[in-house]
Structure 1
Amino acid sequence: MNQPLDSIASVLEETGEYRVLRRIAPFAPSPVQPDEPTFFGLILDTETTGVDFGQDEVIELGIIKFEYGASGRIYRVLESFNQLHQPSRPIPPEIARLTGITDGAVAGQRIDDAAVGMLAADAAVVIAHNASFNRQMCERRWPVFAERNWACSLNQVPWREEGHEGLKLGYLLIDCGFFHHGHRAIDDCHALLQLLARPLKVSGRLALSCLLETARKPTVRLWAEGSPIETKDLLKAHSYRWSQRRRSWYIDLDEAQMEIERTFLSETIFRRPVAHLPADRFTARDRFSARTNPEL
């Protein structure tokens, strides 16, 4: 923003009667050299023809490769990648309206698979705002993503505890005083980069630091196999989900919550000790993958 307009915006904000949203600016590299171990990370976003992992296709892939420190500080952007892809079927009208990506825009376009593989080859982590969706859409076409650690900025940053009501990217930006043009892959990547580089409102911790800390912790999927059918509403109210494939209710937990959850199942659901219910352990390497999706 130029100086005169910036001054006007500041005057408006100082009255307490107005709030000014600023367009996110390009990421500014750190003015200091890293004094800690550093790693390469990717921020990734896709636009797709729909949400069916078996049939729908990626029509746009955006990636930002960046260098970050063990502290969660982001030092610099290394590369920005954004390409369109012509799907095997016409883009649904509702997708074209949402993203602005038309059949004409993608005609003859193809994402460079080799370039994607090179970008991801040395990435310590791949971050997406809804990693469950983006990982499953990507790893089917680009096997390198099945071999990477993934983190989800939607669900693995404590946004609500840090004073944010909405978890969508646009809502989080507005809370921080910014806006962007959403629903294009690379624009969403740049927006997420800015959010992860900022300190959180309540704790003051860097958002990326919180995300990486959570992503590193193993999680456990506990299965309430054989639960009485009349307890389904209790399980749903307790955040359990139904797996049609395994015909069982399940819940994903931090390892530290396991004993509390087993006590709940023993006392409220089964009405008897249930020390040996099946449980699956996940890390960032397999979490959010199609390999661990209980619905597939």
Structure 2
Amino acid sequence: MASQLDMFAAPFQPDDDVVVPLRESLKLRRRPLDGERMARLLEESGSYRVLRKLVGRQIVDIPRPGFPRIGAIVDTETTGLDHSKDEIIEIGAVAFTFDDNGHIGDVTGVYGGLQQPTAPIPADITRLTGITDEMVAGQLIDVGALRALLEPADLVVAHNAGFDRPFCEAFSSVFSGKAWACSVKEVDWAARGFEGTKLGYLIGQSGYFHNGHRAVDDCFALLEVLAGGADGVTEATAFAELLKTSQRSRVRIYAEHSPFDMKDHLKARGYRWSDGSDGRPKSWWIEIEEEQLAAELAFLRSEIYRCKEADPPVKRLTAFDRYKA
């Protein structure tokens, strides 16, 4: 225990050393840590990885010059997977400017709307999206607002356009006649260091978390992933790659009248079956880059038809007709 001063001791002289024991530990007042500073400290320790909540970009009234093109990211939530019978219950769209090199400028508009379907929302859809029958009761998507956002767009982007485009075009002609790009198929995410193509993986590995499976939130999440760099793999953004890839022509080959016993060979090569109900020929088909056409025709003639004169139907596709139903 620390001793007390003796009041009866001889008075101190000017040259004496005086030691005064402290009764309490010294308390230092520190500046409180804000959230971002705490996150940086955790990251710098090397033992933690911090995800930041994604905050959507602000809408600007006057976009910056130098970004003459307009893009629109579109996302849908639906009652199922079949566009011919299931319905859209939510649409989100985020319009933004960009230049011909794939640099993203400003967000110029946002729309999000719910719609009541003709039948109750399946329980598994509610579990996935959080959208309930009560939320959509009496709701209608504002097609006029969508039209104002999409009509000026040079490119419509969806994360899995093969799903969203048929639903959107079945819902309204607003979406028809547009060039579409798919951020799942037209970006090499693996080369950019991502472990998967699902939006949740992409946004998480980009350092964010968001309210997934809600249309507008998914649109903003995809915009940030596309605008991000490639972690030193390449200087081009993911959107620049998407823009370039979407401008390439592709071809779809229909292996009509191919021998039945060749179906396993076709399937192993990546061909898919069409039963003809969607307006395509009833046959196995594959979609490839145009420069692969000669090699693919040679394969079909030598390995499948075994006839040099075989001439399977070929359809050339651009962004204006790719991903249609």
**With structure 2 as the length reference, what TM-score do the two structures score?**
0.83
Larger radius of gyration: 2
Give 1:238's aligned amino acid: R
**Secondary structure of 2:307's partner?**
coil
Distance change in 2, residues 1:289/1:14 (3 Å): same
The answer (yes or no) to whether the contact 1:146–1:286 under 8 Å persists in 2 is no
Deviation at 1:174, TM superposition (A): 1.4
- Given candidates 232, 236, 253, the residue that maps to 2:267 is 236
1:209-242 alpha-carbon deviations (Å, 9 max, x no partner)? 1111111111100111222222211111111101
- The residue number in structure 2 matching 1:270 is 305
The corresponding residue for 1:219 is 250
DSSP-derived class of the 1:161 partner: helix
Quick one: distance in 1 between partners of 2:307 and 2:193? 40
Once residues 320 and 43 of structure 2 are traced to their aligned partners in structure 1, the CA distance between those partners, rounded to angstroms, is: 45
Contact 1:64 1:81 in 2 (8 A): yes
Amino acid at match of 1:279: V
1:48–1:57: 8 Å Cα contact kept in structure 2?
yes
Q: Secondary structure at the match of 1:284?
A: coil
CA distance in 1, matches of 2:319, 2:33: 44
Distance across 2 between alignment mates of 1:3 and 1:84: 40
Residue 87 of structure 1 aligns to which amino acid in structure 2?
P
Residue 212 of structure 1 aligns with an amino acid whose one-letter code is L
- Residue in structure 1 matched with residue 133 of structure 2 by the alignment: 103
Residue 112 of structure 2 is aligned with which of 74, 82, 86?
Answer: 82
**1:63 equivalenced with 2:93 (yes/no):** yes
| SS of match in other structure, 1:147 | coil
Number of aligned residues: 287
Gaps of 5+ in 1: 291-296
Residue equivalent to 2:142:
112
> Higher helix proportion, which one?
1
SS of the aligned residue for 2:220 comes to helix
Tell me the distance in 1 between the aligned counterparts of 2:44 and 2:305: 59
Is 1:53 paired with 2:53?
no
2:241 aligned partner: 210
Name the TM-score, length of structure 1 as normaliser. 0.91
Counterpart of 1:293 in structure 2 is: none
Aligned to 2:207: 177
Task: Tell me how large the CA RMSD over aligned residues is.
Answer: 1.9
- What is the alpha-carbon distance in structure 1 between the residues aligned to residue 106 and residue 209 of structure 2? 22
1:160 is aligned to 190
Cα distance change, pair 83–133 in 1 and its aligned pair in 2 (3 A): same
Aligned to 1:145: 175
More off after superposition, 206-215 vs 9-18: 9-18
- 2:315 corresponds to which residue? 280
1:268, 1:275 → 2: CA distance?
Answer: 11
Question: Contact (CA 8 Å) 2:59, 2:108: kept in 1 or not?
Answer: no
Shift of 1:85: 0.6
Q: What's the offset of the Cα at 1:247?
A: 2.8
